[in-house]
Every structure is written in structure tokens, then in C-alpha cells.
Structure 1
Amino acid sequence: MNQSFKLRTVNVTRYILPLREGGSLPALADADDGFKYVLKFRGAGQREKALISEFLGGEIARLLGLNVPELVFANLDPAFGRSEGDEEIQDLLKGSQGLNLALHFLSGAINYDPIAKPVDPLLASKIVWLDMFITNVDRTFRNTNMLMWNRELWLIDHGAAFLFQHAWTNWKRNATGPFPIIQNHVLLPQASLLEGVNEEFKQKLNNEIFGNLVAELPDEWLLAGRDSDDIQELRQVYADFLSLRLSYSDQFTKEAQDARETLI
């Protein structure tokens, strides 16, 4: 399977407004292709590692058939934002010059309300499995990171996934160890079809896909974390994490099932 993960690249032309409900202070912005985007800044919060998580998590979700807004690489010119009056935002823009990441803006979308709109068991199981696989600590009742758009559920914001990035030497432990945070997942109570989803998704993912995926990560993002100055080593760790994590999918699926049993 020759899966390509090449993103389009756009140039940011106008900063419209900050989206302050996001912890990393994303922004609504115009780009030179005529579309609006939710811009994620390399100078914010967890910096480039959050963008790496956003890219990997979003593209894996898309591959698995889940709705994710189009991701694009977004260039921020050094001159951009000099007239910005807010000092915090101006500092963020200065620290984010170069290549950032953006999601296509879903105009008219609303935050997902789990009480008003329950999700069917199959979709809930797919999303829970994804978040177990990528070790995503978000998607809770407090912060669902999902939108309703055109009567469909869309996934956003995977910047808090791939916890191993923040303790680089323990990546194998993160790939094979428990993930107790799953008990807080907003969709876990409805996720009654995890076993079947696990069998389906194990067939959709493989080492070739992981290799193609990490090959598209920008060098500058990988090197910014200073975990190594060997770019191929850095890519290999991400690919190996994904491969090892997938090999443990039976175990983490059972962990999610057991966590669900305590809730129902």
C-alpha cells in the first residue's frame, strides 16, 4: 500500500483573531489559497512537538476513516504580525516564523456536546481506539476536541498525543505500558465495539505506512526538540514507536474495555 501523506503548503496572509479557548493560543487566519485556517503555532506551548503530534494524530485518524479537517503546512513570514497590538500575540508570531501547521476552518461548526448528541457505538469505539493508539490525553468531558459540522463528527487537536516525546528515552515504556487516562475519555461509555475495531484497524496500519508518515515530518520540527542531531534517528524513533504500539493493540484494547466496565 503506497500511502502518501504529503500536505499542501500555504502562506499566511492575515491574522484574524486568537481562538483563546485553546491552551496553545491558536488563531483564525487567512492564507494565500483563499481559505481560512485554524493556525497552530510552533512558538506556542509544547512548540514543535505539539505540531508533530497534530500531524501524526490527524493523518492517522484520517487514514482510519475518521473525519479530520485538512491539514496544511503554513508559512509565517518574518514580517508578519509586526503591526499586532497585543504584545503576547506579537511575541507568539515572532517565535513562530517559518513553517507551522494549520487545519482547514470548518465554518459554522459547533463544539460537540456529548449529552445533546450521543455517538453510535462503532464510531465511539474507533475514536477511543485511536486515542489509545496515539496516547492522546485529551478528548474528555472538559475538552472534547470534537466538532459537529454538517451533522457529522469531526476530530480536532491532537497536539497532546504521543506523550513519549516529552520523556524521549522512555519511548518503549510509553509504547507498551498502560494508559490509565483513557478512563476519562468522553466516548468510552459508548465504545462497546472495541474488539472488532481493533481487528479492523490492525489490518489498516503497518510499518510501511508509518515510514511514509514520519518521512513527511519537517526536519526543522524534529531537530527543534534537541533530542538528537541525527534526523534519521529521530524519524526512526517515531516509526518504531508506532510499530511497537500497534503490536500491543490487543493489550491496550483490553485495557480500554476494562476501563469501560468500571463505568457502566
Structure 2
Amino acid sequence: MLTEVSATRYVTPLREGGSLPGLVEADDLGLYVMKFTGAGQGRKTLVAEVICGRLARRLGLRVPGLAQLRLDPVIGLGEPDAQVQGLLKSSGGLNLGMEFLSRAIGFDPLVHEVSAEEAGRVVWFDALINNVDRSWRNPNMLVRQGDLWLIDHGASMIWHHNWRGAEVSAAKPYDASDHALAPFGPDLASAAAELAPRVTEDVLLECAGDVPDEWLVDEPGFAGPDEVRRAYAGTLLTRLEGLERRITMGAPDERPGSSVRAGRSAPAGRRESR
């Protein structure tokens, strides 16, 4: 289960995200990026962050640590921004905290080099969770001390917005030609051989088990939180079958950013993220 901490101070909004996450201090003296239940996308964004974040870690990918972050709405009383104050007031109770990565910088494909092996693992993982939010326009990746970190998985697993069509949605192909790592020649065959055997029903149920019950209650068509968790695991297993064959990349010279990268080389010391 995720560790539970309580927010003690709201530091600042992070306006890069569409859901307006905020940087907060917690009673464990840590800094967290808080994602709110009261944001426009609602609690399903947080569910996706937990399941995908936990699964990424099980597969050896770098993602920030997660925590259940309890918020007292009174914290928002001193916030001068009306939008932020409204978000804080509407998000009392349990929210999601993501470990703040100090000294991390945004991933830039023109500056940071990524190996074909690592690019393949990230693209394969994104295909599994159907992440549509890792494009060259919005990479949702950070670089910290030369290492690549994945963030923001709230737009993944879009089928959980319409469970009746989940099986059909899970079988759809994944177009990775717009992916931020497409120009690095992702080695998808190696990624599939390495990662697919590690995605088991037990692993997926463990990841879904870290989602708090209160984010899964009252889901239409389900008897309770555990049944919803089994639906997440089952749909991801359905998507896993034959996944590699359903990932399309496009020709290298057709991928966004490829022509720009062709004339650029990475700075010394940045040849590979590990």
C-alpha cells in the first residue's frame, strides 16, 4: 500500500500541467507534487497514476515515488489565486502525492540522448497502458543526473472512462510515430522479450491494490473496489497479448523531430540515459 502523509503547506501551483498540480510540503518533511481529486479529470486520473506508476517500477522504469496525500481544505484559505483556492477547497481528503525530483530538468530530444534499448522499453510500456501523452510536443519526462524519469500517466488507460467498451479499446493498435522517443530507434523486440513475461495477473492486481478504495467506490457496473481492480488487471492482460505487433512507428524520416535530430549531436557526457 502507498504510504499516507498529510499536507502541511501549499507551496506553489505547477502550471505546466493541465490539471494544475501543486507543490506541497508534507508532515514527513518531504516535497510532493500533489494531484487533486477535485481537478477536472477527477479521481480516475489518480487511479491511472497509481496503477501505471507502480507497474512502471515493477518493470524497472524510473518514476517518482507515490504517496497518499491527505489535504485539509483550510490550507487553501490563504491562497490568493481564486482558481487554486477553489481546487484546494474541493479536494479535501485523500489525494495523490508524487515525489518531487529536485534538480531534474525537462527532457529535450535535441539535448538528451537515449539508447535504443531504453527508448524501446518506454515506448513498449506506453503502448501497454495506451499512454497518449508522451509526444514530442509534451514529453512528460525528466532528466536527473543523466537518468530518464517518466511522469504524468493520468491520461493513460482511456478505456476506464467507458468500461463497456474496454475490451475493444484494449485491442486497438498504438501509433508511436508521434512519441517523444521515436527518433531514437526504439528496440521494441528486445523490450517485448524482456518486459512482457513480467506483466502477470498477480503483478497487475498488486499494482491495482495500491489504489485507495475511496477512488474506486460507486463505479457503475461493479459490485465494489476489488471488482474494479480485477477489471483493470484483466484489461491490461488483454492488451498485453500480441502488443508488439500492434505498435506502429512510421518510417524514421517521417517521425516528428527526426529531420531536426539528424543534424544535431548530443553534448559530451550525455550520450546515453541509464
TM normalised by structure 2 equals 0.88
Show the counterpart of 1:109: 104
Question: Which digits, 9 at most, give the CA deviation of each residue in 1:183-236, with x for residues without a partner?
Answer: 210102223411111011112110111111212211111126556453232122
Contact 2:218 2:224 in 1 (8 A): no
Q: Which deviates more from structure 2 when the two are superposed, residues 23-32 or residues 169-178?
A: 169-178
- Alpha-carbon distance in 1 for matches of 2:166, 2:252: 26
Q: What is the count of residue pairs matched by the alignment?
A: 256
**Cα distance, 1:260 vs structure 2:** 5.9
Contact 2:3 2:67 in 1 (8 A): yes
Contact 1:74 1:102 in 2 (8 A): yes
Evaluate the alpha carbon distance shift between residue 192 and residue 85 of structure 1 in structure 2; reply closer, same or farther with a 3 A threshold: closer
Show the counterpart of 1:189: 183
Show the counterpart of 1:241: 235
Instruction: Choose the corresponding residue for 2:198, options 198, 204, 225.
Output: 204
**Cα distance, 1:78 vs structure 2:** 3.6
Show the counterpart of 2:91: 96
Amino acid at match of 2:190: G
Evaluate the alpha carbon distance shift between residue 55 and residue 259 of structure 1 in structure 2; reply closer, same or farther with a 3 A threshold: farther
Show the counterpart of 1:137: 132
User: Do structure 1's residue 19 and structure 2's residue 14 form an aligned pair?
Assistant: yes
Contact 2:22 2:34 in 1 (8 A): yes
Show the counterpart of 1:3: none
SS for the counterpart of 1:80 is helix
Evaluate the alpha carbon distance shift between residue 225 and residue 96 of structure 1 in structure 2; reply closer, same or farther with a 3 A threshold: farther
**Cα distance, 1:98 vs structure 2:** 0.9
Evaluate the alpha carbon distance shift between residue 156 and residue 116 of structure 1 in structure 2; reply closer, same or farther with a 3 A threshold: same
- Alpha-carbon distance in 2 for matches of 1:198, 1:90: 45
Instruction: Choose the corresponding residue for 1:52, options 39, 47, 50.
Output: 47
User: Do structure 1's residue 7 and structure 2's residue 7 form an aligned pair?
Assistant: no
Question: Which digits, 9 at most, give the CA deviation of each residue in 1:77-116, with x for residues without a partner?
Answer: 2433122222111110111111111111111111011111
Contact 1:17 1:28 in 2 (8 A): yes
- Alpha-carbon distance in 1 for matches of 2:219, 2:23: 26
Amino acid at match of 1:92: L
Show the counterpart of 2:153: 158
Show the counterpart of 1:223: 217
Q: Which deviates more from structure 2 when the two are superposed, residues 25-34 or residues 184-193?
A: 184-193
**Cα distance, 1:261 vs structure 2:** 8.4
SS for the counterpart of 1:160 is coil
**What do you get for the CA RMSD once the two structures are aligned?**
1.8
TM normalised by structure 1 equals 0.91
Identity %: 41
- Alpha-carbon distance in 2 for matches of 1:127, 1:260: 17
Question: Which digits, 9 at most, give the CA deviation of each residue in 1:9-50, with x for residues without a partner?
Answer: 110000000000111100111000011111111111211011
**Cα distance, 1:179 vs structure 2:** 2.4
Contact 1:66 1:154 in 2 (8 A): yes
Show the counterpart of 2:65: 70
Show the counterpart of 2:270: none
Q: Which deviates more from structure 2 when the two are superposed, residues 45-54 or residues 215-224?
A: 215-224
Evaluate the alpha carbon distance shift between residue 226 and residue 87 of structure 1 in structure 2; reply closer, same or farther with a 3 A threshold: farther
